[in-house]
Structure 1
């Protein structure tokens, strides 16, 4: 019990949930900090609903990025796909360097406002870290280990799934961790195209010169990123066999 109470992850989760529930009642505090504002607390939508919508955007886009990045990383490390590795890395890097706002600007006229253009932008932005983690993880597996697997009569698929991927898992998860954390922060811009997210108070606050709204949204996004980062840290430690 004492160990649980000392767990930083539990405290972060408790703080995040507490802020979601108490933020609508924090009017006097923000009114004291920003006396010039008529409405110092964002109340157009529930913070809890915004958090769920934000998590939905991140989950869908990150899952897509993970599947594409992992699949592409595996494909170009196989003998038949090695010649395509420079092309795949270039395309993934282009998706990372192309600003999400620009993706939204192109996607909205075609798809319309809402979640879909935001998910596309986040997905493109999240592929590169997963791809890099997959490549680094698989390449870190010693050649001698692969030789032992082949000597034991394993097929290429069996060697990949039973030897290479388990050994590469901590590095692959590190790439996915980076991708998800980036997406949590970037998902705030989804509110510019009509999608609900924790970026809604930030965007409205910026457009209306309401610093209190910006702070409320930014604090929740930052806390959410910290919680998810800690969760991925635990997952990495578990795969590495270092769970204490």
Structure 2
């Protein structure tokens, strides 16, 4: 496994992305060593904020303090800091923000694999894509790319290429998402439940948007501006099917549009 894909790198990436100031300060010292004053000027942050952030990044081994100069100490990105910044750039691409998903996704994937294939297999899948199962935080943000990699790993190891395994996993695990449980426990009429589902989506992802069109006993769920993949589409189908089961409703879920086939969104129709 490369250093960029190590559990330590992804864990530190989550730490950096939790604070815009950490990201700015780390980015400032990646090209070359700088003093706190130079960092403050480049980033537009107050010097006191720069000093505090330098302390945070130093304590987490992302930067190192070089020999002091008359006008202040020099700070540089460590090898780990360079690896984390490279992972950040790779995750973000040309987007203004890196597509991220809550750790609850990885937690549920791990739970499902452990139930059906054993904890060792579940640990191995997460470690393979660079996450440490022992330090996984369901409330933290992690790169979406890592979530897509996990889905592909699960299909490759336990599926048959049809993505039915991914669909089944999502169907069985959807009730373990706190955002879904909150809506279920409110006992809302199903149309209102669906209308409020974009709130749950925003709780789980920091990118894209979910639009809902409810008519009579049918609803179309449209995902815009998100990163699609065959595994993710299967997971979405299974998630909606699992929601129907949670609410003890009879219904069907059908994929009606796909970004991978040129549509402007991925669409799922729910009939009940």
| Greater per-residue helix proportion | 1
- The TM-score bracket by the shorter chain reads under 0.3
Higher relative contact order (CA 8 A, sep 6+): 1
| Greater per-residue strand proportion | 2
- TM-score, normalised by the number of residues in structure 1: 0.25
